[in-house]
Structure 1
Amino acid sequence: MNCIRVGSGPTLVLVHGFLSSLSYWEKQIELFSTRFDVVAFDLPGYGGKAQEIGLDSIDGFADFVLGKLDDLGIDCFHLMGHSMGGMIAQEVALKARDRVKGLVLYATGPIGSLPGRFESIADSIARAESEGTEQVARDTVRTWFSEGEADPDFLRGMELAERVSTQTYINGLRAMGGWRSVERLDQINAKALVLWPDSDRSYMWEQTETLWRGISDANLAVVPLAAHNTHLEKANIFNLLVIDFLQSEKVQQHQLVRD
């Protein structure tokens, strides 16, 4: 399946990140679907759509997400994006300002070049072009877990990463590297939660703080002793934070004010 829709209630759209797929949300979907109409799908080039060549712009990915939601007849929705998916979610929130109700930006940032990342995007692209993606993908996925390759979800992460073609890998890095939202954050209308794992090696605190302070109506949650894939490592904590935020009176009031 390239798309899943399950549950009832307000619609919650989940956007996965680089080298992953909708299955990355498996520890969220069962619980979230008891409270929300959950929608998740594979981005072009990833998961069940790995036979396609992935897009090379965040803007293009955002148009893909909005096109899918239009096809499904979904007008207003909550939106959560992880990593590259968080960049896509920001762009969706900017393109469709009156459609996004609650916005969760998780382990992501507004500067696509990823300053402070364990390895620069340019270096990762150069390695992929000269060596292929096997080792550079392993080096990337390893940093997403506090325990590295010892984490029980690491092998599943690698299985998804290995599906991604070299060109899609390069295109994804180029999409991130050529994008930024810093100057436009104040245009986001949605009530937002910026969620940051404090041991993230892809998005440093400076990125998180810029999101939190730049979006006019944003709250911040910091998860201690957690790496980039907190939703897998500490699923119970992560899930409760997201549900508490999206079901909060402040999110509901924010929507009423906009309406």
Structure 2
Amino acid sequence: MSFVSAPHWTAVDWTPWVKNRLVGDRRLRYLDYGTGSALVLLHGMAASWQWWLENIPALAQHHRVIAVDLPGCGQSEPLPAPAEISTHAGTVLDLLAQLGIDEATVVGHSMGGLVAIAMAGAATDRVRGLILVDAGGVPMTPRRLALILWFLRLGAAVLQRGPVRRALVRSPRFRRLALRAGFRNPDTLSPELAAELMPVFAGPGFVDSVAASGRAARATVPASLECPVLIIWGERDVIAPVRCAQDLHDAVRDSELVVIRDVGHSPMIESPDAFSRAVLDFTAAG
């Protein structure tokens, strides 16, 4: 599906499309942009809706894009502890109900994949398809899961520091060093995008979300998914290696696997055109 006419995200004034809404007595920040069938974008741990900026202009040519700051992330208020992944899923479903969206395709990156799977399990009639991007919920050993959670805690603790965030925006060399684990090529994170991502990175709900993700990852059963599933994975992901994607593909009956070459854990940033094309091909197929 073509999206060559999409403007670059820096050419768009996003202010009118970024909104706040009370959902379960908590303020939720989200972007509502474009027209067509609903496409919900759920970011990974410690991130925010802006992680999808490279993709939203293309996706919004064919979809009403709802990109959410999950509770406690970005500029959304945190849930009361314990903030379980199922509660995150319920919060997003409640937001969609308030917006009058009866069904949607849900895209989940990393931790957002756990939330997307929980949404599909809780509301099979409202989730028409899932797109899991280097996602949580893949089969892995308890040791590897514990290592990933430890790495995420450590990385976020470092990136929460003001001087570190400022250096990530200003210094390409520092970005290369600090983001090597999450990106195959950290230079694909532009200074403009870093300036959007870093000020709201690792929000107040981060600590709770790490623990909740660990509990959900151990309990998630991807084989129970009933809707069509597209799995998009970075070939050089060192956090969740591509063999995890193959295991997930094998476990989910109605699934398709797209591996994007020479990118790491965030293919939507490292290879936005290939990522957006895979998403649009999947949604166009119905």
TM-score w.r.t. structure 2 length? 0.74
C-alpha separation in 2, matches of 1:102 and 1:32:
15
1:182–1:214 contact (8 Å) kept in structure 2: no
- Percent of aligned pairs sharing the same letter: 25
Amino acid at match of 1:43: L
Partner residue of 1:184 out of 214, 217, 221: 221
C-alpha separation in 1, matches of 2:84 and 2:178:
20
Q: CA deviation at 1:148?
A: 3.6
User: Partner residue of 1:170?
Assistant: 207
C-alpha separation in 2, matches of 1:91 and 1:180:
11
Structure 2 residue runs of 5 or longer lacking an equivalent are 1-17, 19-28, 169-176
Amino acid at match of 1:222: V
The residue matched to 2:259 in structure 1 has which SS?
Answer: strand
The residue matched to 2:221 in structure 1 has which SS?
Answer: helix
Amino acid at match of 2:198: M
C-alpha separation in 1, matches of 2:265 and 2:156:
21
Partner residue of 1:159 out of 199, 212, 215: 199
Amino acid at match of 1:160: V
Name the stretch that deviates more: 145-154 or 229-238.
145-154
User: Partner residue of 1:235?
Assistant: 272
Asked if residue 15 in structure 1 is aligned to residue 61 in structure 2, the reply is no
User: Partner residue of 2:127?
Assistant: 100
2:48–2:197 contact (8 Å) kept in structure 1: no
Judged with a 3 Å threshold, the aligned counterparts in structure 2 of structure 1 residues 217 and 117 are, in CA distance, closer, same or farther, namely: same
1:109–1:211 contact (8 Å) kept in structure 2: no
Asked if residue 57 in structure 1 is aligned to residue 84 in structure 2, the reply is yes
Q: CA deviation at 1:93?
A: 0.8
1:17–1:83 contact (8 Å) kept in structure 2: yes
Judged with a 3 Å threshold, the aligned counterparts in structure 2 of structure 1 residues 158 and 128 are, in CA distance, closer, same or farther, namely: closer
Q: CA deviation at 1:22?
A: 1.0
Q: How many residues align?
A: 244
Amino acid at match of 2:121: L
C-alpha separation in 2, matches of 1:24 and 1:123:
20
User: Partner residue of 1:205?
Assistant: 242
Judged with a 3 Å threshold, the aligned counterparts in structure 2 of structure 1 residues 117 and 199 are, in CA distance, closer, same or farther, namely: farther
C-alpha separation in 1, matches of 2:222 and 2:164:
32
The residue matched to 2:55 in structure 1 has which SS?
Answer: helix
Within a 5 Å distance, the mapping from 1:109-188 to structure 2 comes to 109-111=136-138, 116=144, 119-122=147-150, 125=153, 133-134=160-161, 141-148=179-186, 151-152=189-190, 153-154=193-194, 156-161=196-201, 164-165=203-204, 168-180=205-217, 184-188=221-225
User: Partner residue of 2:70?
Assistant: 43
Name the stretch that deviates more: 211-220 or 184-193.
184-193
The residue matched to 1:143 in structure 2 has which SS?
Answer: coil
The residue matched to 1:104 in structure 2 has which SS?
Answer: strand
The residue matched to 1:47 in structure 2 has which SS?
Answer: coil
Q: CA deviation at 1:154?
A: 4.8
Q: Deviations over 1:96-129 (max 9, x none)?
A: 1122112110111315888647944246548978
Judged with a 3 Å threshold, the aligned counterparts in structure 2 of structure 1 residues 132 and 12 are, in CA distance, closer, same or farther, namely: closer
Judged with a 3 Å threshold, the aligned counterparts in structure 2 of structure 1 residues 114 and 59 are, in CA distance, closer, same or farther, namely: farther
1:62–1:88 contact (8 Å) kept in structure 2: yes
Structure 1 residue runs of 5 or longer lacking an equivalent are 253-259
Amino acid at match of 1:144: G
C-alpha separation in 2, matches of 1:39 and 1:150:
24
Q: CA deviation at 1:143?
A: 2.0
Provide the aligned C-alpha RMSD in A: 3.2
User: Partner residue of 1:257?
Assistant: none
TM-score w.r.t. structure 1 length? 0.81
1:44–1:54 contact (8 Å) kept in structure 2: no
